[in-house]
Structures are given as C-alpha cells and as structure tokens.
Chains A and B, each alone.
Chain A
Amino acid sequence: MRKVRVCILRTAGTNCDKETAFAFKTAGAETELVHVNRLIGWEKQLEDYQILAFPGGFSYGDDIAAGKILANELKCKLANQIKDFVSQGKLIIGICNGFQILVKAGLLPGNKDFTQEASLITNDSGKFEDRWTYLRAVKTKCIWTKNLPQVIYLPVAHGEGKFVVKEKSVLERLKKNQQIVFQYCDKQGDLSGYPDNPNGAIDNIAGICDATGRILGLMPHPERHQLNVQHPCWSAAGKNKKSGDGLQIFQNGVDYAKKLL
C-alpha cells in the first residue's frame, strides 16, 4: 500500500525538522525534508505530498519577527502552490516557528484573502522560556486533535508565543467556528495564569485550526513528547507507557491523509 507522504519544509534556521519527521514516520508516513528553495525552483512539487509540515526553529534567525521572513517568502513566492494544496483538501501543520509562519502568512486563522488577523508576539516575561505545559484539548472539528485525552502535557520553547488577535471579532469568530484547539491550563485542566500560561496568550490560546479543521498551528512541541522517555518525570510516571502525548496528533494527520491517497 502506498504511504502518506509528508513534506517537511525547511530553510535557514529550521531546527526541529528531524524529530518532526521521526514522529510522522512512527505514525506510518513517508517523510521528506524539503528546502524551500526547491519548491520555489520547482525541483519539488507540493502536489506529491498529502501533508505539509512547518517544523520549529528560527527561520532566517527570526529577524524582524519570529517566522516573518519565511511567511513573506511564502506569500510572495509560493502562494499559488499553497492555495492549491489547501483547496485539494490536504493537511498542514505548523509547530512553534511553523505556527508563527502560518499565522503571519495568513493561513491561520484563515480567510479568503490570506490576510493576517492574528499574531504571536513577545512573551509577557520578555524572554525565551523552555517549560512543560498542560494543554486542554478542546473538542472541535480539527482532524489533528481527535482521540486526545482532555489534558495533555507538551513542552514549549519560545520567546514570541503570545497569541493576540487584530480585533475582538476575530476571537469571537474563532470561538464560534470551534477553531481554538489547545489552551494552556493547570494539571486539572483549568485555565490559569503564568507560568501555566507561559507567554500571556489571550484566552490561554496555545493552538488553533482553520475553519476546515485541516490546518493546525500550535506553539507547544508535540514531537518533543512522542516517546514516553521524553516526559520530564517518565521514570516516576510509569515506565511501561511507550508513546508520549504528542504522537497521537501525528497519527491523526497520517490516518486522515490516507483517505487522500
């Protein structure tokens, strides 16, 4: 049987590409690390893949603002290819820097003209922080977040992760359309302040999807909790569990994408 193919897009400064590929492989997909220059130069075509993944990192050093320069490049050089990809019902995931890119390129929360309606800005603490966060997995139509327990545990590692919207109506639309998929919370699943909400995001938003539920962006790193031993207390929390909370997200994407083959 043919396998789902995932294009892991990379450029100068991408740095979570290999572990993201590993998670997709574990979930049964075939992955390819593709430099953005190859898509622009038509050496690689997006139509050969069912999933497009934007991994974490510091694309172009996050100069100007996190994800901005790659977002600009996508808009200027790859807009049509990506629009076609989306309109074919295929899947996109953006993790950390990938989420910042999707938001700044207008792919999330998403509208007809791909204009930017939200952003991820400097953490309230003013600094980069690496910490584990509890996330409330909200029940939505997002295909990436099926079968998750109510609360999952994933690490964040970013300096610009505070989710903000252009105006109130955007937030209301997100809620109405069930596009808010992850919210920072405490261990019990209640929304709470810093450090549970590590960056001061409005409504504790950690991840959103587009109106179709096929494009997901999130600040926390599911690929850093795909194995049980990546959990900070794995030795006490039970050695027998084999996979981590994040793997299901990749599994959902791959399972859904099989229908596209």
Chain B
Amino acid sequence: MPYKIEVSDKAGVFDAVGCGVKKDILDLGLNTIRQVRFAQVYSIEGNLTSEEAKKIAEELLTDKVSQVFSINAQGAKRKAHNDSVIEIAYNPGVMDPAEDSVLKGIRDLGIEGASSVKTAKKYYLKGNLSSQQLKTIAEKLLYNKLIQHIAVSSQPSALSETTYQFKLITVDLLGAIDKKLLEISRKGQLFLNLAEMRQIKKYFQGLKRNPTDCELETIAQTWSEHCCHKTFRGKIDYKEKIQNPKSKAQNKSQISNPKIKSGKIDNLLKQTIVKVTKELNKPWCVSVFQDNSGVIRFDEQYNVCFKVETHNHPSALEPFGGANTGVGGVIRDPLGTGLGAKPFFNTDVFCFAPPDLATGKVPKGSLHPKRVMKGVVSGVRDYGNKMGIPTVNGAILFHERFVGNPLVYCGTAGIMPKEKSFKETHVGDLVVVVGGRTGRDGIHGATFSSGELTHESETISSGAVQIGNPIQEKKMVDTILQARDLNLYSAITDCGAGGLSSAVGEMGADLGARVDLEKVPLKYSGLSYMEIWISESQERMVLSVSPEKIEELKEVFSRENVEATVIGEFTDTKRLELFYKGALVCDLEMEFLHHGTPQIEKKALFVHARHLEPKLKCAKDLTETLSKLFSRYDICSKEWVIRQYDHEVQGGSILKPLVGIVNDGPSDASIVKPLLNSQKGVIVSNGINFRFGLIDPYWMAASCIDEALRQVISVGGSLKEVAILDNFCWGNPDKPDRLGGLVRAAYGCYDAARIFEAPFISGKDSFYNEYTVHNKSIAIPGTLLISALAVMDDVEKAVSMYAKKAGNLIYLVGETFNELGGSHYYALSEIIGNAVPKVNAKKAKAVFQALSKATGVGLVAAMHDCSEGGIAVAAAEMAFSGGLGMDLFLSEIPYPEKEKRNDFLLFSESNSRFIVEVEKKNQKKFESALKGMPFGLAGCLKEKKDFQVFGLEGNICIKATLEELKCAWQKPLKW
C-alpha cells in the first residue's frame, strides 16, 4: 500500500513559501486571501511496513527542528478550519527530479522496499474564496497542466509500466501524391516541406521500398531548421525598396542607410558571418563554426569556448522547465566541444512582454508575461546554481510582441587544456551513452522549434516540454572531465535536439554507425524503438570509446553513480544502421542524411519603412523625463533577478554584475578568472536592441556589435582578442518581409565585425518565433543578440562603472547625434521614429583603442557605456551607484549637429560613447591619451548627493537627489 507523507512547518515557524504564494494571490487582485500554508507531500510506493514508513518520515523527510509530518492523514484537521486545499502533482511520465535522491536516502536508512517516490505540493488557503477563484489561483500561479495536475484523490497517479510489443512500422511514401506527402509531414509533426518530402520519396523510390517511421523521423530531425539551418545556408532571392519614395517625410539619415544589392544570395551565413571570420583570420581562433561551441586561445596551456543557444518555444509553454532545460542544454555544448570543456560561466538574456500587461491582451493559450518571467528566472536559477556555474551576464528587454513568444537565450563558456580541443571518431569505437536515462519526454523538440506556435501548441506539443535534473548533469560533468583527463574516449557530443538520432548521426557522419536500440537504458518500459531513438531526454552525452578502454571508462562513471552504456559501434559502412532486438529498423546512407537536403530558394524583401516623425517639444525641465526613463522595465534595475543567481561560485568573479558602494549598480560587463592561480581573465558582455531593428536591422546589428565591444572597453578590456557570437531570433523565414530584415542584419554584422576586427566564432538562429491566433500571426521583432568574449591579460586592470571620488573629473567620450529613432525617449511617447543610431566603426575603433590604452595604464577611475536612455541615464547610474553627486555641463559634450536640443543630447542613444571618471592629477595624461578623439570635459563629482545637469544654454535642466533617481530605477522590479 502506498504511503502518503505530508510535511509542513511547525506552528510558529515562518512559512516563507506560503507567504510568497499569498503575495502572488494578492497581486492577482484576490484580496480575500488571509493565509497560505505550504506542505510538501511524498507518495511512496513499494513493500514497506508502517514502522518503516514512519522511520522514513521521521528520519529523512522531516526536519525535526522546524517541521511536523503526518502519514496518510486526510487533512481532516485543516478542513475543520474551512481551509481550501490545492494539491499539485506531476503528470505521469514527467520526471520527478527529487525521486532518485529520496530513494537513495531511503536505501541509506537500510530500507530496501521502496520502489517509487512521487512528490507533490499542497497549499492550504484561508479566506473567502469561490471555487472559480481557487481554479484561477491554481492555474495562474500553482501549476502548469503540461507537466502537472491538481491531485483530486489521495492516491498518486503513477505511470503504469507498459510492455512494448515490437512491430516494424513503415510509412507509405511511394504511393503518396503531393497532398498526401504534406499530410504525412503535418500529422507526424515532421515540419518537412513539399520539396523535402518529394526528395525523400525519390530516395526511397530508388531503394524500391518505403521508409520505416524511424528513418523518416531521423531525416526530419537531421533536416530540421533547428539542426541544419537551412534558411541561413540556403539560397535567397533578395530585394529591397523604399516605402513611398516620393513622400515628403524624407529623412536624410534614412537615405544614407546602406543599400544591399538585390539579387541571389547563395548561403547567407557563408557570405557574411563566416566570411568575416575567414577574412580576419585571427591566429588565436582555434576552432570556429565546426564544433558545439567556438574555441579561442586563453593562454599557453588552455583554450576557452563559448556558445549561446535559445530555448524560446519550450519557455513559452512551460517557463520554468523551458528555461531550466535551456540552461542544461547549453552547458552540454562546451562539454561536448573538443574532448570536453569545464563550464565556468553562464549568461542569460531574455525578452518578455511587459509584466504589467493587461490580462485582456494575453492571447488564448499563452501565459501572462509576469508568470513567464518569474518561471524563466526560477528555471535559470535552479539549473545554473545547482550546476555550480556562476551566471554572470545578461539583459532583459520588454515589448508587447513577445507576449506569445518570449525569447530565452542561455550561454555557457568552458575552459579546456589546449590538447583537448579536438575530437576524432574511429572505426571500431564503441558508441557509449552516459548520464541520464531515456524516457518519453521531449519527443519532437527539434522539429517543434522549427514551426510556429499556435494556441493549440500546448496540447499538440506537450511532449516537447521537460523539466531538468541538474544534479544528474552535475554528476555527468564531474565524471566526464575525469574520463577526459584519463584519455578514455576520443570524441564526445551532446544529446540535444533530436536526441540520439542527431548525436550518433553527427559523430558517425563520415564513417558509419550501428546501434542496438534495446541497449539504451530506459526510465520506464514501454518505449518503441522510434521513441528511444528520437527522445530528447536531458542530461545525456554520447562518447566514442575504443574497446580496450571501455572497462576503465565504465569504472570511472560507476564510481560516482553515473550510468555509461555501450549501445553500438562506429563502422566503415557510411550508413546509419539501427536494430531493435536484432531487427533492422533503419538503414540510411550518411551521405543522403547529411547532404541530401534539397537546396531551397526563399524570397526576401526588405522595405525601408517610414515611421511617424514626431514633433516633440523639448521640456525646460527634464527631471521627470529622466525619472520616467529610469522606471521603464528595460532600463530599471534587474537586481531582483541577478541576486537569485549565484554569480560567484567557483571563486572566479572579479567584476560582478552588481557593483557600487552598496553592490547594486549595473555593471557593463563581467570579468571572470577561470584559473584561480592566474592573473588572466575573460570579459563577457552582450549587445541587444530590437528597437533599432524596427527601423533598420542593418543598424541594429552594427549597434549590437558596437554595444558588446564598448562594454568590453568600459571594464578595462581591449579589442586585441575579442570573439563574438551571433544569435538571431526571427519570425517565419518563409515570409519574404521577415527574411528581408534578416538579410540586412547579417550584412550589418559583416560590415561592423570586419572593421572592429572581431571574428564570429559560433552562432545559432531560431526562426518561426511567431504566434498564430485565429489565423493572425504575431511575429516577434527580429532580435539579434551579440555576445562578446574577450581575453584579458591582467584582471587587475579592471575598471568598474560606479563613481569613485568627489572632485574627480567627468569626461564624455564619443559623439552624440540626433539619433532618437528606436530610443526609449521616443518610446515614452509611443513613437519609433526614423533616425536610428548608426555606427562609424572606423572612428569608434580609434576611440576604443585610445580608451583601452588609458585603462591599461591606470588613468581611468570609472567608466560606463551609454546605451538605453542615453547620457542622462548612464551618468546618473554612475553617480548613484557610487553614492556621489555629479554636475554635468551639456555645452561641453561633443555634439556635431546643427539642430541642438537638450533632450536630444541627453537621451539620444548614439553608439560608441562613454562616460569616464578621471582623477584631476591624471587630467593631462588622459587628455593626451585621447588626442585626436572626440571628447569633452563635461562635469565633476561632488559630495553633495544630487545630480545636476546644466543645459546647452547654461540653465539647469535636470536636478534631482540621488535617492530620488535610484528609487525610480529600483522600484519597478522590486518584487
């Protein structure tokens, strides 16, 4: 008989979980809630006596100091007090992350009879709540039906073990006409288009047989946009034009936007991103665009690698699980690079709809953005912290168009000895799967992310949603690195999208591979051969191991309770051969699988849009405007998020994401020292601004590169060894207008990276970020994230952004233009504008180099880059983070425009600008280091804690206390 053990806090102990839920319920506007009490429930099945159950409850599950337990109680006591009870349990088949460790704890007690443990969460609610209100609370706050349910009966609904009867399934392609081919693709969730389906049919016609379901799935996974990037690598027929060319609203800046030649582009990636890396040909680039992450040189003995991925679609449906497995997935990229790199920092960048969005604006089938945001942050916190990898850098942006489709970028960097940077699979090597077991979870993730979301997605694709088990992954990382250092394997890759099908298919691409699918360890019985092959269960890696090393390898893993299982071997057949209990279920030529995709030609059209050109009046007093800018979600403090991440584990955090006299100012970038005994470090930063892309994706791309690089400069870095990563999140590339923007962005990347001499080393794209409700498609704004990784020779040259000393001088470096298009100042009036900030990369580079010379010799006390919100925001942030007042004189700022306005100068988001604090004694030296550059001595720091700006005419246009400004900046996300 199963035992249900319920553990709750003793009376008098502060119930922090319950209180948090109560606060969230009040936020929903349900003011009648008086109290929430939380209880943890464990349902234990197996052959146990009641004494054993009591021992488990008492010794293991309850904290005797602070908690009490009950066994198989019906909650009668609580009921008597008219409490409402909501109990949330996992759905059958969803991995319960606590099950393994609870079972281990029970065995440690000397009790062997427990066979399964399911956990549930129980909430006792006091207050006058209707059943409809209870339903709202449960649905909006407490559970997600994709992975959980409200437990009605007291019995846990365990997944009944089923047995699987083998039956080979073939799909009739040979007899299918076009219409039928498309139907097969749609019904099977293959997301293959007609040309591709025809190609597959042709291939099997040649073989004179129909494909098995497994073969068709393997092809669909391998050819998915997610795995092979057919848009970027395909042919594009590109055109651009100007909207209403004769319209009077001609805007000079727009005409100067570079035109990209219309015509055919063969492989956009090779023409832009990859091309610039080739042309720059940096000797410190070790491995680019070929492995699971990009690798650059760190020092004489080590290399570092970096990869950023997105996990948008899963996060839209199940924010916690989606972000959780997003982090888990990207960690496996450095781990699967070369022979495996040790992860040493994570990054996270998100785009959401505003968290205060009216409920009526949330489309059917979507979660409210506040819940999405909280869930995503928790998911990142859970996985990153438990892995012991510091989350050191990120950004969060907001726009209503992310409502059905948030963006969740996760990045991981790793470090490895330089001789471990390459891999090689050999004929005769064994295929070994290590880590977690395979289950039915995560089926169809790769193909799912290659299609648009609809309000039906949550029902159709729920199999693609998982929650992670970070401790499983931590064990795997620990043991893999041990096996690596003992030279026990020759190649490694991660089981990500597509599961074993893509991992084995990729590793054996040049040789051949055979796998016996029944050998793959399963979480539970009942999986078909096809499910085993394509399941995307988390926390698994595939190794290629020479037969003479297999026993030693298994020993390394089993010592720390990690499974390592031989499932096949690499062959010289150039074929992918899969068997299930001896029966051939898949036999495909590697050549067809990896190079058989029909090249697709897509049409792209970019229209230079004309937005309304606003006629804003410049207010005399801009204090309130500044305060409003500070309270925008994009600009406000993200401390609530950052504090929940462990950003200091591993001990390498040298410049933290929060800096200042009370550690709450916004750092421009982070510096991490991966080796505690070395002075060398790496700088990580990011540039992202979809608002510029609403006007011109070309300038968005250039601006993102400028932003990421100027942040490197701000913290004391240089352009000497900076690598960058591109992550494009775009709408449906089959629609010419979406693809047109992508082409412009890619060319923007090429032009800027070439001049800055910053090579791309890795990247990833995510398309189909659209959300369809009743045939109306909402596309996200095309969004590019540029992440930068720079090697720093001496971390003691680091510079932070907060003001250091009264009396020090404030310089403005770089020119400001009337580039208010896409600015937050315009956004305050809900205007986009047209004059998007541009990048003069040649000039910018000279400024960057001069500044790094100055930081290199210690002339800079503090430096902050100007980005969202412009000079006013950046200068005030410096002041209040350092707890020092500042006087700023706009007349001294380089401003080569004819039309001069205080508001434009203060709030323009022109690129390549910095605010620099310099000690008086260094004035001459600093000015001579910047000789020939645009700069102005525009202010100074003072003890009096206010922020004062003198306008172009000399009159005061901003005057506020540091307290007022900081408060405006901290308030929005003080949850």
Contacts and interface: CB of A to CB of B under 8 A. Distances in A.
A157 B97 CA distance: 22
B64 A130 contact: no
Contacts of A235: 796, 798-800
Nearest to A73: B108
Interface string B336-347: 000000000000
B772 interface: no
Nearest to A11: B560
Contacts of B31: none
B796 A229 contact: yes
A236 to B, nearest CB: 5
B457 interface: no
A160 to B, nearest CB: 9
Contacts of A58: 385-386, 388, 470-471
A64 B475 contact: no
B20 interface: yes
Interface string B4-34: 0000000001101101100000000000000
Contacts of A18: 650-651, 676
Contacts of B798: 229, 235
Interface stretch (A80-88, A112-120, A140-148): A112-120
A9 B728 CA distance: 43
A130 B385 CA distance: 10
B63 interface: yes
Contacts of A121: 13, 63, 65-66
Given A116-B64, A164-B13, A64 B560 contact: no
A229 B654 contact: yes
Interface string A205-234: 000000000000000010110110110110
B59 interface: yes
Given A125-B16, A129-B644, A232 B101 contact: no
Given A19-B651, A126-B20, A119 B659 contact: no
A180 B60 CA distance: 27
A63 B102 contact: yes
Contacts of A232: 656, 658-659, 663
A58 B658 CA distance: 24
Given A12-B561, A64-B101, A227-B676, A22 B651 contact: yes
Interface string B46-63: 000000000000011101
Given A37-B560, A235-B798, A235-B800, A22 B677 contact: yes
Contact of B645 (A13, A15, A19, A130): A130
Nearest to A18: B650
B317 interface: no
Interface string A130-173: 11100000000000000000000001010000001110000000
Interface in B100-116: 101-102, 104-105, 108-110
A132 B654 CA distance: 14
B60 A72 contact: yes
B795 interface: yes
A81 B725 CA distance: 51
Given A22-B676, A164-B13, A12 B108 contact: no
A157 B648 contact: yes
A14 B560 CA distance: 12
Given A72-B105, A126-B17, A235-B799, A65 B656 contact: no
B474 A157 contact: no
B101 A69 contact: yes
B661 interface: yes
Interface string A46-81: 000000000011101111110011001100110000
A37 B558 CA distance: 10
A128 B385 contact: yes
Contacts of A15: 386-388, 474, 649-650
B66 A12 contact: no
Contacts of A221: 648
B52 to A, nearest CB: 14
Nearest to B654: A229
Contacts of A192: none
A35 B649 contact: no
Contact of A224 (B60, B645, B651, B673): B651
Interface string B82-122: 00000000000000011001101100111000000000000
Interface string B376-393: 000001000111100000
B388 A57 contact: yes
B98 A122 contact: no
Interface of B: 13-14, 16-17, 19-20, 59-61, 63-66, 97-98, 101-102, 104-105, 108-110, 381, 385-388, 469-471, 474-475, 559-561, 642-651, 653-654, 656, 658-661, 663, 673, 676-677, 795-796, 798-800, 804
Given A16-B651, A224-B651, A229-B798, 8 more contacts: A13-B386, A61-B471, A63-B102, A73-B104, A127-B20, A227-B651, A232-B663, A233-B659
